[in-house]
Structure 1
Amino acid sequence: MPVTDITTDPEKLEMTLVAEFAAPAHRLWHALTDPRQLERFWGPPGWPATFTEFDFTVGGRARYHMTSPRGEASRGAWEFLRIDDGSSFEVIDAFVDEHGAALDGFPAMRMTFAVADAGDGSRLTNVSYFTSLEALEQIVAMGGVEGARQAISQLDAVLQDLRAYAQGKGTRTELLDDTHVRITRLIDGPRDVVWRAHHDPELMRKWLLGPDGWSMTECEIAQGAGDRYRYVWEQDGVPDSGFGFEGESLLSEPPRRAVTTEKMIGMDGPSTLNDMTLYEEEGATLLTLLIEYPDKDTRDMILATGMTDGMEASYARLEEQVIRA
């Protein structure tokens, strides 16, 4: 984990985060000052950021919003106070509404980002300065410490070349906590093609099959938020072997993000939440799927079915049957 320390100091009214990375300082600086790079980590898993404005000059302003899987938005803005190119910058960070106006009842804070060499890599020191103890305690109560840890811990993947980070490593499953799993797979092809492969029934029938010997017999796709989908598979030559999933699209931001519920057809109980994001770099696309389960037992039961192996077979087929076709 890159985050080595997060401390709060009620006397100095400060919160300090320190993180170290196996990447040079100039690469870390670029990640912190490029809005497209910031979008990959500024926000904890499930709440990715979208920067709609980024004027990286003294007196300039940045605006962003973080969107939950269910579409709730949390908006923020930075005003750049100081920039020491390549080493540090300072902002006023504030909660804002959809028009960019500061929200009543939420604290604004001064925040510094400092980048330095550290051994064979680099170190980030991020300090937030509060105007009162109440403001500091409010941010802590809102989950600011854990949210910062989760967000900055995503920077490792951002700082690496995408192919070096993921190519040849297949489908990877990470247990984030008792109810959240993150799955990643590099698809060797452009993002718009990967998106289309998930939203074109003809293409989907070519690759979303799991192990060999199965066919997709029903493929009703949700194209936008509020639409429902239904997928059914059958084992070739085996009567009554069908099973399937159905659900609803909660969020659709082509070609970047799609969030759906998922439930096995005919089964009782709550749905899972599937949050898929696509990021392209030099013709390759990193597919990240964040799955939220209703409880740990459901998580473990589904993972024990060999889900990761089945997904790898499908993603390999996507590359072969769609990308390289």
Structure 2
Amino acid sequence: MKSVDKDLDALTLTLVAEFSATTEQVWNLWADPRKLEQWWGPPTYPATVVDHDLTPGGEVTYYMTGPEGDKHHAWWRMTAVDEPKSLEFIDGFADADGKPVDTMPTNTTTVNFSPYDGGTRMELRSVFDTREQMEQLISMGMDEGLKASIGQMDALLP
């Protein structure tokens, strides 16, 4: 089961997904950059991870390549990590050199992994600073892209 809830009043976008795999196995899809590349980004925009440091203060930088060869760069700045239970990061856009683009909105994303019904429930919640920022990212397809990305995780789990 995968669901997405957009709450414009609370400025949150929450995705909940359940997997028939252990918490550690689901965590590993985030912790291993080569596995992250196999599901992060919608199927037509696969990710290439450049830097991958899942420690507080660490950064993950990556780009997604579109069907026309166009590259879309982004970054995560890790704020909290509790392996294999949760991670939190600030998520933003970058230019071709990997430098943050200050004119684009950022959001704070928290991912929690918990045992559920013999498997794992993953809850990903993005919090936005303003309604305008949230609406801008949703208009760019953030919710559908996230759902498509997470939809690829099942095939990578045992």
Q: TM-score, normalised to structure 2's length?
A: 0.97
Q: Distance in 2 between matches of 1:10 and 1:48?
A: 28
Residues 51-71 of structure 1 deviation map (CA, whole Å, 9 limit, x = unaligned):
010112110111000001211
**Equivalences for residues 117-196 of structure 1 within 5 A:** 117-160=115-158
1:16 aligns with 2:51: no
Q: Distance in 2 between matches of 1:14 and 1:44?
A: 21
Residues 81-127 of structure 1 deviation map (CA, whole Å, 9 limit, x = unaligned):
00111100100100001222222431111101111111111111000
* Partner residue of 2:77 out of 68, 76, 79: 79
Percent identity between matched residues is 37
Residues 157-184 of structure 1 deviation map (CA, whole Å, 9 limit, x = unaligned):
0112xxxxxxxxxxxxxxxxxxxxxxxx
Q: Distance in 2 between matches of 1:19 and 1:127?
A: 12
> RMSD value over aligned CA atoms?
0.9
**Equivalences for residues 18-167 of structure 1 within 5 A:** 18-160=16-158
Structure 2 unmatched runs, 5+ = none
Letter in 2 for 1:157: A
1:34: how far off? 1.1
Structure with higher Rg: it is 1
Q: Which has the higher contact order (CA 8 A, sep 6+)?
A: 2
Letter in 1 for 2:88: E
Letter in 2 for 1:24: T
The alignment covers a number of residue pairs equal to 158
Q: Secondary structure at the match of 2:101?
A: coil
Residues 240-263 of structure 1 deviation map (CA, whole Å, 9 limit, x = unaligned):
xxxxxxxxxxxxxxxxxxxxxxxx
Q: What stretches of structure 1 move > 3 A for 4+ residues in a row?
A: none
Q: TM-score, normalised to structure 1's length?
A: 0.48
Q: Distance in 2 between matches of 1:85 and 1:157?
A: 22
Q: Secondary structure at the match of 2:154?
A: helix
Q: Which residue of 2 aligns with 1:190?
A: none
Q: Distance in 2 between matches of 1:33 and 1:136?
A: 27
Letter in 2 for 1:97: D
